[in-house]
Amino acid sequence: MGDAILNSIVSEYLFTEFRNKDEGFYSKTRSNIVGRKNLNRIGKEILPTNKIQHKLRQLSDNIFGNILESIIGAVYLDLGYNKSKEFVMKYVIEKTNTKSMDQNYKSKILEWSQTKKKEIKFINSTQKGPDHKKEYLIELFIDGSKISESWGNTIKSAEQKSAEIAIKIVS
């Protein structure tokens, strides 16, 4: 239940705060705010580990996000929508940098390349590490010339980092 309440509150917040954005922005930004990675980070930050009763050897990061969602659901059931909205605003939205979420550098460099009639290529040149902890080196080429490169834990994150560097170079 907490995840549904969280989605509702975040959707309302985005619509009122970012009135002139398109549906894609709302969807992507909401997904980033309510996504497991963000909720796990916030949960780890605000939940005292010594108060979590468990029989596990070690708490996974997902536990923190799950507990945070459960708390949101409990606040809703006990105190209603407005109090759960206050909780989400204070502990989720204020702890999430929504301004930086609109930065899709890969889209920006691709738009730039179309405007300037330049050919962009992302090449996965190197991979290292075990399967469960692989890293990727992505090189970005414009018209055949290497402009930037970056490592990431996923191909997508490495492409974003490499595109961010390239945007700064060509702008």
pLDDT category, 20, cuts 50, 70, 90?
confident
Give the DSSP H/E element, type plus range, for residue 142.
strand 135-142
User: In terms of C-beta density within 10 A (0-12 exposed, 13-18 middle, 19 or more buried), how is residue 78 classed?
Assistant: exposed
Confidence (pLDDT) at 25: 81
Cβ pair 160, 151 in contact under 8 A = no
- From the list 15, 29, 23, 5, the residue with the least C-alpha distance to 98 is 29
Domain boundaries, the chain: 2-98, 105-170
Q: Is the pLDDT of residue 145 over 90?
A: yes
Average pLDDT over residues 135-159: 94
Average pLDDT over residues 136-161: 94
Condensed to tens digits (0 to 9), the pLDDT of residues 59-106 reads: 888 899 999 999 999 999 999 999 999 999 999 999 987 665 556 788
- Residues with catalytic roles: 3, 69
Place of tokens 């560097």: 165
Q: CATH for 2-98?
A: 1.10.1520.10
**Residue 136: CB partners within 8 Å, gap ≥ 6?**
124, 126, 127, 151, 152, 153, 154, 155, 158
Q: DSSP secondary-structure letter at 151?
A: E
Confidence (pLDDT) at 102: 52
**105-170, what's its fold?**
Double Stranded RNA Binding Domain (3.30.160)
